[in-house]
Structure 1
Amino acid sequence: MKAIRLLLGFVMVGTLLTSCYTEVIIEDEFIEESAFNTDQVLRSYDLWYVDINATRGNGEVPFLQRAFTISFVNGTVYANNNIVGIGKTGNGLGIDVGYYSTLRGTVEIDHDVDGLWLLDVFAVNGNTIELRDPRSNTSYFLNGYQANNFDYDFVFYDNINYLLQEYDAWEKVYTSEEGAINDFDDENYLQFLPSFFKSSVDAPGTPVSNLQWDFEGNYQVYDVENDEMLKTLTLAYDFMGNDYFELYVINDSTIELYHPDSGTVYEFRGRGYNEYLKSDKNSIDKKRQKTSNPIMKVKRSRKK
Structure 2
Amino acid sequence: MPPQTMDPRNGSTVTDFILVGFEQSSPSTRAFLFALFLALYSLAMAMNGLIIFITWTDPRLNSPMYFFLGHLSFLDVCFITTTIPQMLIHLLVKNHTVSLASCMAQMYLVFCMGVAECILLAFMAYDRYVAICHPLSYAQIMSQQVCLRLVGTAWFFGLINGIFLEYTSFRNPFCKDNHIENFFCEAPIVIALSCGDLLFSMKIFFADAIVVLLSPMVLIVISYARILASILSRASSSGRGKTFSTCASHLTVVIFLYTSAMFSYMNPRSTHGPDKDKPFSLLYTIITPMCNPIIYSIRNKEMKGAMVRALGRTSLAQAEPA
How does the TM-score come out when normalised to structure 2?
0.24
Which is helix-richer, 1 or 2?
2
User: Which structure has the higher relative contact order (CA within 8 Å, separation 6+)?
Assistant: 2
How does the TM-score come out when normalised to structure 1?
0.25
